Amino acid sequence: MLWILMTAAAAPLQVARNALQRGLVGDAGPWGATLVRFLFGLPFSLAIFGAVALATTGAAPHLSARYVVAVSLGAIAQVAATAALLVAMRRSGFAVATMMQQASLPFSAVVGWLVLRDHISAQAWAGIITTTAGLAVLSWPRRDQIAGAALGTVLGLASGMAFAVALNAYRQAGVALEPHHPIYSGTASVCVAQAIQTTILLVALAIWRPAALLAVARSWRPSMGAGFFGAAASACWFAALAMAPAGPVRAVGVIEVPIAAAAGRRLFKERLSIRQLAGGVLAALGVVATALG
């Protein structure tokens, strides 16, 4: 199953991008660091698409209203999801917001099933539910972090729903553009989505946070690395979404968690508790069930 391989390839690339982005927040702030992901990723995305286009024979992309609406909706929903998650983290803490944002996994499956009529096998549903439970255990906040977390819970859930909309919209975009060449379709859609997101964030920061744009410009050298890994990860994600429903793709993508844990331990000296390790094992079992379903 090629979509599983593409999703598995996206996970370490995304961890590398996140690790590089973490060091870029500084003066640029979280929104500046988010802009880095799209602005510096766009040239690499265009290069990746160019290579794929040259290697693809017989592709006949169909630029339709369905495609334009889907890719635009995905791009805007992804930015909105990031905004909700950032505010949730600021208001109620990282742990609460992260736990609630994991709702994007079941939301992705349900939206794809109800709205887009995606077929998901019983075993894949079992895997998605198991993975969701594992993520809940893994990211469940401590008792002292839950107090006063009502707004963070709502915003975290909103973020999860927006991410679910983005994933399913990107899937529809890939299928609408060129269903017979998913890697071509996925890499092309990355370029379009990142162009939309870059424009939105450039305009917004120019109006509200011009200092962040200067900080982003000054950090262009390290930002190139984050841009490259982000573009490569997005190309793999979009290609996988063009081949399989968003729910299973999102579930298999959870293999990012142990990779991120290993990177956090190595690079940032972070440690996981026994509860978090147990949640990781449960999530891993769900990933296996989903992939085999």
pLDDT digits (tens, 9 = 90+) for 123-152: 877 877 887 777 677 666 666 555 555 666
Upper half-sphere CA count for residue 122 (Cβ side, 13 Å): 0
What is the per-residue pLDDT for 142? 60
Determine the average pLDDT of the residues in 213-219: 84
- Report the alpha-carbon distance of residue 221 to residue 68 in Å, rounded: 33
What is the per-residue pLDDT for 274? 66
Please give the distance of CA 170 from its chain centroid, rounded to a whole number: 11
- Report the alpha-carbon distance of residue 153 to residue 276 in Å, rounded: 20
- Report the alpha-carbon distance of residue 45 to residue 198 in Å, rounded: 13
- Report the alpha-carbon distance of residue 189 to residue 175 in Å, rounded: 10
Please give the distance of CA 85 from its chain centroid, rounded to a whole number: 12
| 187 pLDDT more than 90 | yes
Residues with Cβ within 8 Å of 110's Cβ and at least 6 positions away in sequence, in order, are: 164, 247
pTM above 0.95, yes or no: no
Highest mean pLDDT range out of 69-83, 114-128, 243-257, 278-292? 69-83
What count of other Cβ atoms lies within 10 Å of the Cβ of residue 271? Answer: 8
3-state secondary structure of 148: coil
| 268 pLDDT more than 50 | no
Closest CA to 168 of 100, 244, 103: 244
| 264 pLDDT more than 60 | no
- Report the alpha-carbon distance of residue 236 to residue 226 in Å, rounded: 16
Whole-number mean pLDDT of the chain? 79
The dihedrals phi and psi of 282, each to the nearest 5 degrees, come to: -65, -45
Highest mean pLDDT range out of 19-23, 73-77, 93-97? 73-77
Both tokens of residue 201?
Answer: 């964030």
pLDDT tens, position by position, 56-88:
988 899 999 999 999 999 999 988 887 777 776
Determine the average pLDDT of the residues in 225-249: 88
